[in-house]
A and B are shown apart, each in its own frame.
Chain A
Amino acid sequence: MPKAQLFITCLADQFYTSTLQNMTHLLEKLGVELVFPPGQTCCGQPLFNNGFEDKTRAVALNFMQAFAKSDAPIVGPSGSCVSMVKHHYPELFPAGTPEYNLARDTAARTYEFTEYLVNVLKVLDVGAVFPHKVTYHASCHYLREMGLKTEAKTLLGAVKDLELIPLKEEDTCCGFGGAFTVTYPEVSRAMMENKVKHIMASGADTVVMCEPGCLMNVAGGLHKAGSNIRAMHIIDLLSAR
């Protein structure tokens, strides 16, 4: 029986409890034995991406220690947070130190949710039914840092009654970028409004993505634009029956 540790990410922790519950149910239905390390907080990406590498180290150490009690894979609902652990943790510590070795070990067993499903469990169909027109936003770190080009669409392709509709500029950033939204709010707004414009023009009634950050941004933008289009995390869509 496969085992995995839930990496809930601070953003989903604050805003998307039901997505985390759905992630738990989906993985347990697939026979994964889950643990939730309560010592986890944030992966440290907000500090790292804003130039505070020194301050990131303590946060990263807390994360790594929280997940070191088991050697089971670490699975999270965000390509961006997972990429932080997978690609940037080893950059934080000098090669050869115990912290570096721990970072390498942690990085090697950390997976984004759809990556874990498709590439580790080899599950392409989770038995979801979703009779809607759905368009897909390819999140930046999920796509470019993690290199996950096909996983989400593979899973969506297996959803019963789902019609996948192409999105213009599908892989253009939605304007989230973490602190970018509050550092340059007007630029972030312009980028978000472009994304929302394309989603509204697509003809879909649902837009799906694999990133809580983009989800907050796009869902808020659609609401502000008075649109009824529903923005969803892929986990919630894959939980629909």
Chain B
Amino acid sequence: MTTETIPYIGFEEYSEHIPQTIPAAVQQATSRFVGGRAARVSELPHWEQLRQIASDIRLHTIDNMDIYLNRFVEKVQAAGGIVHWAATAEDARQIVLQIAKEHNVKLAVKAKSMATEEIELNHALQAAGIEALETDLGEYIIQLAGTGPSHIIVPAVHLKKEEIAALFSEKLHMNAPSDPIELARIAREKLREKFLSAEMGVSGANFLVAETGTMVMVTNEGNGRMCTSMPDLHVAVVGIDKIIPDWESLTVFLKLLARSATGQKLSTYTQFITGPRREEGEFGPKEFHLVLLDNGRSKIMKDPIGRQVFKCIRCGACENVCPVYKNVGGFAYGYFISGPIGAIFAPQMLGTQVARELPYASTLCGACADVCPVKIPIPTILRHLRRRVAQGDEVAGPSMPVPIRAMAGMASMALGWNWIYRFGTGILPFFMSVFKRGEWIPSAPYPLNRWTKARPLPPFNASFRNWWRAHSRVARENTK
């Protein structure tokens, strides 16, 4: 096993140098999804009940993970599939590499999959001399650009069509027009020949149905179906959190997913895969491998608050409504899952040493929790992880720098000890009057200079208590 060093995620540093094109592109695309979602949700009078049922199913499944995983694996094996357990990302990469080597794979075509982003499979395949080609249009674009995804369902959401055209022109040595339909046609043409020659198809899955050992893929472009049926070998890498008990549960999640994600009632393709093809002439690959990825999940599932992150069905609705995400874009989160869900996912998966800034990358406005189709209490989990960062808990010691913690200690005295509070309240108007210009304080000393960078501060003027004393004296005299 190689030791992986995870680089520090500097949200603040990134936020100071955001390319101006990103918020504009992100806001344009996400507001379209927000509108679509709202329209679909209003058509379902029992939406709130569906959310509650979905949340209950998820928690029940997490509580009984062993039972459902075992049931699922038995059924996959009975259907002729080969199951692999990967405890870590490195294990998962090695398993896929081993399968590829055994089958002498030169080219792998990939359907959109967050699990393979998580384990950075493409790098591993390419390092082993195997070409790994993304076939989802968005993934194809970001692969050309050499970046990760910046949105769960729209990986290239940060790029405008003009930027994509320029990227195609440069990387594909052509003159690509900035017309979305034409760009899709170019990609389709480039990909078609690859589908025909690939020896291996790689995918993730949206759900694993324990009842029958069926993996479910929800897609829109048709490339997912090509990847999982054209090559003779199909390898799926799937997080254990994707498991659901049965088909009845699946109907609940399918009602919620596309509506929350793209504002569709159902995605264009909903694929059910139960093992490889069983007889010649049947549709599908000869060999089907399923890599079940833990990578820290079972440990996080022991944390009663933090584990709720695994209710997630990767719809991206929280990103679409998040005002922070919409102003910084997905790369600010430094992780393959961004936005509010990334801010509670990354610190748990990577640890609060490297991701300590992310739980604070939110105003706790709560818009995410309102739209989450599985009722993940994101603000509650953000506060939970802030506790871990600020004061430490059973999972990790504090990771917030000591000077900031010391400031919080002073603040707790100033805010909570009546005489210190009153003393501070008394002197602040005089102290701050030095900085007053007219009706405002345009530029304040540290740390409030970080406030006045963007807008002036109103002057400190704590005179209610004195006023009240006089007011209540008058009131008492009047009632005599």
Q: Is chain B found bound to chain A in the same assembly?
A: yes
Residues of A near any B CB (own CB < 8 A): 6, 8, 10, 12-17, 20-21, 24, 28, 36, 38-39, 41-42, 44, 46-56, 58-59, 62, 140-141, 144-145, 171-173, 175-192, 194, 216-217, 219-221, 223-224
Contacts of B463 in A (CB 8 A): 17
Contact (Cβ within 8 A) B412 A59: yes
- B425's contact among A14, A52, A171, A223, by CB below 8 Å, is which? A14
Contact (Cβ within 8 A) A41 B370: no
Contact (Cβ within 8 A) B15 A220: no
Between A and B, 29 residue pairs with Cβ closer than 8 Å are A10-B415, A14-B425, A16-B458, A20-B464, A36-B468, A36-B472, A44-B416, A46-B411, A46-B415, A47-B415, A50-B386, A51-B383, A51-B400, A52-B412, A55-B412, A144-B366, A145-B366, A173-B323, A177-B364, A179-B360, A180-B360, A180-B362, A180-B363, A188-B363, A190-B23, A191-B363, A216-B457, A219-B458, A221-B455
Distance, CA A190 to CA B453, complexed state (A): 12
Distance, CA A6 to CA B469, complexed state (A): 13
B450's nearest neighbour on chain A, judged by CB, is A182
| Chain B nearest Cβ from A27, distance in angstroms | 12
B322's nearest neighbour on chain A, judged by CB, is A173
| Chain B nearest Cβ from A157, distance in angstroms | 24
| Chain B nearest Cβ from A54, distance in angstroms | 6
Residues of B near any A CB (own CB < 8 A): 11-12, 15-16, 18, 23, 323-324, 327-328, 359-367, 369-370, 383, 385-391, 400, 408-409, 411-412, 415-418, 421, 425, 428, 440, 447-448, 450-451, 453-465, 467-468, 471-472, 475
- B456's contact among A16, A194, A224, by CB below 8 Å, is which? A224
Contact (Cβ within 8 A) A217 B408: no
Distance, CA A176 to CA B418, complexed state (A): 26
Distance, CA A2 to CA B388, complexed state (A): 43
Contact (Cβ within 8 A) B471 A24: yes
Distance, CA A6 to CA B324, complexed state (A): 34
Contact (Cβ within 8 A) A41 B418: yes
The dominant DSSP class at the B interface is: helix
Contacts A42-B421, A194-B327 given; does A58 touch B457 at CB 8 Å:
no
| Chain A nearest Cβ from B332, distance in angstroms | 8
A48's nearest neighbour on chain B, judged by CB, is B383
Known: A47-B412, A49-B383. 4 other contacts (CB 8 A): A46-B415, A144-B366, A176-B363, A219-B458
| Chain A nearest Cβ from B22, distance in angstroms | 11
Distance, CA A15 to CA B367, complexed state (A): 28
Distance, CA A191 to CA B323, complexed state (A): 7
Contacts of B367 in A (CB 8 A): 140, 144, 171-173
| Chain B nearest Cβ from A197, distance in angstroms | 12
Contacts A14-B425, A50-B408, A185-B450 given; does A140 touch B364 at CB 8 Å:
yes
Distance, CA A189 to CA B465, complexed state (A): 33
Distance, CA A171 to CA B365, complexed state (A): 10
Contact (Cβ within 8 A) B370 A144: yes
Contacts of B360 in A (CB 8 A): 50, 179-180, 183-184
Contact (Cβ within 8 A) B455 A41: no
Distance, CA A171 to CA B417, complexed state (A): 35
Contact (Cβ within 8 A) B425 A13: yes
- A41's contact among B366, B421, B458, by CB below 8 Å, is which? B421
Contact (Cβ within 8 A) A54 B363: no
Contacts of B388 in A (CB 8 A): 51
Distance, CA A49 to CA B382, complexed state (A): 9
In the A-B complex, the 7 residue pairs with the closest CB atoms:
A177-B363, A51-B390, A51-B386, A220-B455, A59-B416, A189-B454, A173-B365
Contact (Cβ within 8 A) A41 B462: no
Distance, CA A144 to CA B464, complexed state (A): 29
| Chain B nearest Cβ from A112, distance in angstroms | 16
Distance, CA A7 to CA B256, complexed state (A): 42
B361's nearest neighbour on chain A, judged by CB, is A184
Contacts of B390 in A (CB 8 A): 50-52
Contacts of B364 in A (CB 8 A): 49, 140-141, 177
Contact (Cβ within 8 A) B464 A191: no
Contact (Cβ within 8 A) A217 B464: no
Which of A13, A175, A181, A184 is packed against the most chain B CB atoms within 10 Å?
A184
A28's nearest neighbour on chain B, judged by CB, is B475
Contacts A182-B448, A189-B454, A223-B455 given; does A177 touch B362 at CB 8 Å:
yes
A188's nearest neighbour on chain B, judged by CB, is B454
Contacts of A47 in B (CB 8 A): 408, 411-412, 415
A224's nearest neighbour on chain B, judged by CB, is B455
Contacts of B391 in A (CB 8 A): 51-54
- B365's contact among A24, A144, A223, by CB below 8 Å, is which? A144
Which of B364, B447, B460 is packed against the most chain A CB atoms within 10 Å?
B364
B458's nearest neighbour on chain A, judged by CB, is A15
| Chain B nearest Cβ from A38, distance in angstroms | 7
B441's nearest neighbour on chain A, judged by CB, is A220
B327's nearest neighbour on chain A, judged by CB, is A190
Distance, CA A185 to CA B360, complexed state (A): 12
| Chain B nearest Cβ from A134, distance in angstroms | 21
Contacts of A55 in B (CB 8 A): 408-409, 412, 416
Contacts of B323 in A (CB 8 A): 172-173, 175, 191, 194
Which of B18, B365, B386 is packed against the most chain A CB atoms within 10 Å?
B365
B463's nearest neighbour on chain A, judged by CB, is A17
Contact (Cβ within 8 A) B365 A140: yes
Distance, CA A145 to CA B366, complexed state (A): 8
| Chain A nearest Cβ from B262, distance in angstroms | 21
A62's nearest neighbour on chain B, judged by CB, is B416
Distance, CA A224 to CA B457, complexed state (A): 10
| Chain A nearest Cβ from B437, distance in angstroms | 11
A58's nearest neighbour on chain B, judged by CB, is B416
B467's nearest neighbour on chain A, judged by CB, is A21
| Chain A nearest Cβ from B442, distance in angstroms | 9
Which of B362, B387, B455 is packed against the most chain A CB atoms within 10 Å?
B455
Contact (Cβ within 8 A) B415 A15: no
Contacts A21-B464, A41-B416, A184-B15 given; does A191 touch B324 at CB 8 Å:
yes
Contact (Cβ within 8 A) A189 B464: no
| Chain A nearest Cβ from B338, distance in angstroms | 14
A172's nearest neighbour on chain B, judged by CB, is B323
| Chain A nearest Cβ from B429, distance in angstroms | 9
